[in-house]
Amino acid sequence: MTESVSKLIEELKRLGGRVEEVKDREVYLVVGRDNLRSLAKALYSTGAYLKTCAGVDERQVQGVLSIYYIFGLDELGVDVVLRVPVTEDDAKIPTIVLEVPAADWCELEARDMVGVEITGRPVRRLVLPEDWPEGIHPLRKDFDYSARPPRRFRSELPEEVGVPLGPYHPALHEPEYFELYVDGEKVVDVVYRGFHVHRGIEKLAESPRFTYKQIPFLAERICGICGFVHSSCYVMAVERAAGIEVPERAEFIRSIVLEVERLHSHLLWLGVAAHLLGYDVGFMHAWRIREHVMVLAEYLTGSRKTYGINIIGGVRRDLNVDKLDRILKTLAKVREEFVKLVEVMLSVPQIKLRASGTGILSRSEARALSVVGPVARASGLYRDIRKDYPYFAYREVSFKVPLYTEGDNLARVLVRVEEVLESIEIIKQLVDKLPGGPVAVESWDVPPYRRAVAAIEAPRGEDVHFIITGVGKPYRWRVRAPTYQNIPALRAMLRGASLADAPLTIASIDPCFSCTDRLVVYDLRTGSRRVLRIAGGVSACPL
């Protein structure tokens, strides 16, 4: 730990924190609820970002319920974790939303899933439906995964259902619920409700049917676009908790596949953005170029998606000389065709006209909400986990982190354009420096009740996995996808904007929902209410 981190720890101890564990890049402190807000404020004032918070039922091991608040000191590359324990008969913790606005969702989720009441703020259901029975919390250990509690099903379908015409469809064909309050064509306010396809993956990982070895396959199905990010983040968390040393060659292979995944994800998104801007030729060319990357992914891993090559302690597939040669040839073709597409695409008048100056997220708002990925970098926040917390082989390569200050839709487009070119260069460096040796450890063991935080830079931004090890499987596995962190920023982006700009602005965070979506538009001038519904299906990111 550096001198700066040591001074911070001393300050947190002075404010009431008790150091519980210090290890490489992670500091754990126990905090009483009376001191939580002052410690959270002290961390936030030093420049820390809230990564997430996790409710944990620790009654079996410590006799308490806890909320873990995970802060990242990006400039120092260190995570500070505040654990706030409470007894079951007095399970109340004060909110830190006033000090750290980014804590809004994860506090409500801990309330829903573990049953810790959050005081000093308005509360509502976030993950669970409104008719979920009181007193039943799915992530408590005494709740069985296969249980089906009684529910009072209510139909919310209005008497009249509108037809989704014009600009009212928010973005992608996935289950999302936005209420846009408009005055004429101006958006006055936005309310979002998600978690329509909550699959209970965190709970499933605790069930008897899963082991440490099987969960990488489960993690890879969290998202249909960046599944390798999630499986990599999971195995990294287990490896850090257990102290497993991964062979260097495996770390290089993981990094190569992660950047291949970033290429296909950004190309997919740029095509969707072109479509939303009315430039369907750009959409078709972006997806045509993306196909080169998808074919390469299948050649390297055996699958176009859900690659299945991550295992704890390494990877199950090696890269031979033929595969390395194929990588370089494909990258050269992708780069040449992509540069031509971008030159044409950014010269189309309606692209700049529609994207420039719309969906603005200021740097201060981005900071308060702890947004991640291209959304953060387009608003002037220098945040990239590959640089701030180097993992796998990223410490062996050099690359530029694109940064813009405008915070609008065009800036988020340009960040992704530059990242495609940077990813190509990163892969070329990794191929050139690929070391020899094994690709996996022969055996490993995971001691119980070890904790670790793992973070990986997904195409959408920082992906965070927090793990507490158990016997044969995780005791608690917390996943925070990038979209979870970026959706709350849409309220700031959309308020005061034109309704016609809503589709691109929502899509600009590259949201991941899945399956069926709904949109409610309230017109404050006439008092009318329209519910728009579309069935579709793309990727799946909700847990």
Q: Pick from 359, 383, 356, 354: which is nearest to 492 by CA?
A: 359
Identify the CATH homologous superfamily for domain 209-484. Answer: Cytochrome-c3 Hydrogenase, chain B (1.10.645.10)
Q: Quick check: 127 pLDDT over 90?
A: no
Tell me: pLDDT of 208 over 90: no
Residue 301's pLDDT is 96
The reported pLDDT for the residue numbered 484 is: 92
Strand-strand pairing, 177-183 and 516-523: parallel
Among candidate residues 465, 447, 467, the one with its CA nearest the CA of residue 389? 465
* C-alpha to C-alpha distance for 464 and 377, rounded to whole angstroms: 18
DSSP 8-state secondary structure symbol assigned to residue 146: T
Which residue blocks in 370-500 are alpha helix, DSSP H?
373-378, 385-388, 409-433, 482-486, 490-494
Q: Residue 2 pLDDT > 90, yes or no? A: no
Task: Work out the average pLDDT over 190-212.
Answer: 83
Between 79-93, 112-126, 489-503, the lowest mean confidence (pLDDT) is in 489-503
Q: Are 486 and 237 in contact, with CB atoms under 8 Å apart?
A: no
With bands split at pLDDT 50, 70 and 90, how would you rate the model's confidence at 195?
A: confident
The pLDDT value recorded for residue 540 is: 36
pLDDT digits (tens, 9 = 90+) for 472-484: 999 999 999 999 9
Q: What is the mean pLDDT of residues 409-435?
A: 97
pLDDT at residue 181, as a whole number = 82
Checking if the pLDDT of 514 tops 70, the result is no
Question: What stretch of H or E contains 452?
Answer: strand 451-458
The DSSP result for 336-398, as a single string, is HHHHHHHHHHTTSHHHHHHHTTSS---HHHHHHHT--HHHHHHTT----HHHHS--TTGGG--
Is the confidence at residue 533, as pLDDT, over 80? no
Which residues of the chain form CATH 1.10.645.10? 209-484
| Residue where the block lists tokens 């070895």 | 213
Q: Check: CB of residue 489 under 8 Å from CB of residue 342.
A: no
Q: Retrieve residue 473's tokens.
A: 């499987």
**What pLDDT, on a 0 to 100 scale, did the predictor assign at position 454?**
97
Beta bridge mates, 81: 28, 70
Sequence-separated (6 or more) residues with CB below 8 Å from residue 478 = 52, 54, 56, 68, 202, 464, 465, 466, 467
Better-predicted residue by pLDDT, 31 or 129: 31
CATH superfamily of 3-119: NADH:ubiquinone oxidoreductase Nqo5 subunit (3.30.460.80)
| In the predicted structure, residue 419 carries a pLDDT above the cut 80 | yes
DSSP symbol at 73: E
In angstroms, the CA 296 to CA 306 distance is 14
More confident residue, 234 or 349: 234
* Tens of pLDDT, residues 63-100: 999 999 999 999 999 999 999 999 999 999 999 999 99
Strand order in the sheet with 516-523: 186-193, 177-183, 516-523, 529-535
Q: Band of the pLDDT at 374, cuts 50, 70, 90?
A: very high
Mean pLDDT for all residues in the chain: 89
- pLDDT confidence tier of residue 524, bands split at 50, 70 and 90: low
**Dihedral angle sign, alpha carbons of residues 187, 190, 194, 196:** negative
271: which 2 tokens? 């095509």
Q: What percent of the chain has pLDDT over 70?
A: 89
73, 264, 355, 364, 381 from 403: Cα distances, Å = 19, 21, 17, 15, 7
453 with 26: CB under 8 angstroms? yes
The position carrying tokens 């801990």 is 110
Confidence of residue 523 (pLDDT cuts 50, 70, 90): low
Reply yes or no on whether the pLDDT at 207 is more than 90: no
Q: How many helices (H) and strands (E) does the chain have?
A: 17, 16
User: Which of the two residues, 177 and 50, has the higher pLDDT score?
Assistant: 50
Q: CA-based diameter of the chain, in Å? A: 69
Name the pLDDT band for 153 (thresholds 50, 70, 90): very low
Q: How many Cα atoms occupy the beta-carbon half-sphere of 46 within 13 Å?
A: 23
Would you state the pLDDT for residue 198?
Answer: 66
Residue given tokens 């801007």 in the structure block: 277
Section 215-237 average pLDDT = 93
Q: Annotate 194-259 with DSSP letters as a single string.
A: --TT---HHHHTTSTT--TTTHHHHHTTS-SSSHHHHHHHHHHHHHHHHT----HHHHHHHHHHHH
Average pLDDT over residues 227-254: 97
Contacts of 138 (CB under 8 A, 6+ apart): 113, 128, 200, 203
Beta carbons within 10 angstroms of residue 414's beta carbon? 20
The whole-angstrom separation of Cα 39 and Cα 6 is: 15
Kindly state the average pLDDT of the residues 239-246.
97
Residues 164 and 398: their CA atoms lie apart, in Å, by 47
DSSP SS3 for 475? strand
In the prediction, which pLDDT does 448 show?
96
pLDDT value for 145? 81
Segment 138-155 mean pLDDT: 76
Cα separation, 327 vs 396, in Å, equals 19
Of 155 and 74, the one with more pLDDT: 74
Is residue 155 predicted with pLDDT exceeding 60? no
Of 156 and 508, the one with more pLDDT = 508
Residues 363-388, mean pLDDT to the nearest whole number? 97
Q: What is the per-residue pLDDT across 378-413, written as a single tens digit (0 to 9) for each? A: 999 999 999 999 999 999 999 999 999 999 999 999
Angle at 486 between CA 95 and CA 512, to 5 degrees: 125
pLDDT for the residue 254: 98
pLDDT reading at 194 higher than 50: yes
Delimiting residues of CATH 3.30.460.80 domain(s) in the chain? 3-119
